[in-house]
């Protein structure tokens, strides 16, 4: 695809906030049209790639023939600090930097965006968020986060599947955000998924770390390398600050 075909650009980040936004740098570096519809999304945490795809899909439908570039970029190392706080130690151990991108258009190939749902539980805001201490950015993670993530994700997936007349058995692959091993175990148990369903999630976490919002796209790329059958259904599931959770149903074309 040529850059001239890119009619929209959406960048999400919770760690790389700039003003002007990251989108302006991409417009310059990629040589995109100066009239491109550009949006910078912030504050969604590790779940941010799915709202990005939601907006990209809507924008692509508005502009037939044009494509939308969806970019998730995270500099998680900006939260690496010294200290003996449990949240800080866990954060330093599992997070890493990463960026991923997808092109959303009406052209055949890749995946079809079938449906997506989101759920917000602001009453749990203090369980997963960024905080500033002495001028430094810190991850704040509570001990009850695995249970909260599993509960929120379970309701979200049930809603997504019911809306499309599906059961868990209809889903061929699961791209679940790796919020750490305890979170993975809790979400896996809550969704009654097998170890093979979570194998790619654990592989990406082991090799690259939790790259916040970009991570689910790395898991999707891992599935692409393994190969998917035409028509196979994939659920992207991500959760993060807020507490927020987002799920997207994809079908391999």
Joined together, the tokens standing for residue 252 give 């391999």
95: DSSP letter: B
- Measured distance CA(163)–CA(184) in Å, rounded: 25
DSSP-H helix ranges across the chain: 22-30, 49-62, 86-94, 145-163, 181-191, 199-208, 215-226
Joined together, the tokens standing for residue 243 give 């507490």
Joined together, the tokens standing for residue 83 give 């200290």
- Measured distance CA(76)–CA(208) in Å, rounded: 12
Task: Please list the active-site residues.
Answer: 46
- Measured distance CA(142)–CA(114) in Å, rounded: 34
């Amino acid at each position: 695809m040529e850059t001239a075909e890119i009619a929209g650009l959406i960048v999400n980040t919770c760690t790389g906030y700039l003003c002007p936004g990251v989108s302006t740098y991409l417009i310059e570096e990629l040589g995109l049209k100066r009239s491109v519809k550009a949006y910078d999304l912030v504050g969604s945490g590790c779940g941010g790639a799915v709202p990005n795809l939601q907006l990209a899909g809507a924008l692509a439908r508005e502009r037939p023939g044009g494509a939308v570039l969806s970019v998730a970029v995270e500099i998680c190392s900006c939260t690496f600090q010294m200290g003996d706080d449990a949240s800080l130690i866990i954060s330093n151990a599992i997070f890493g930097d990463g960026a991923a991108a997808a092109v959303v258009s009406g052209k055949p190939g890749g995946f079809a965006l079938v449906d997506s749902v989101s759920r917000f539980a602001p009453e749990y805001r203090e369980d997963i968020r960024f905080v500033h201490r002495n001028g430094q950015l810190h991850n704040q993670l509570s001990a009850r986060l695995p249970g909260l993530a599993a509960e929120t994700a379970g309701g979200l997936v049930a809603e997504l599947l019911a809306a499309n007349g599906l059961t868990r058995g209809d889903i061929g692959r699961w791209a679940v955000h790796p919020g750490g091993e305890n979170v993975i175990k809790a979400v896996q148990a809550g969704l009654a998924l097998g170890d093979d369903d979570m194998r790619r999630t654990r592989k990406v976490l082991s090799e690259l770390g939790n790259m916040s919002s970009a991570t689910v796209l790395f898991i999707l790329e891992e599935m692409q390398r393994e190969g998917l059958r035409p028509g196979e259904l994939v659920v992207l599931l991500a959760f993060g600050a807020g507490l927020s959770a987002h799920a997207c149903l994809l079908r391999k074309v």
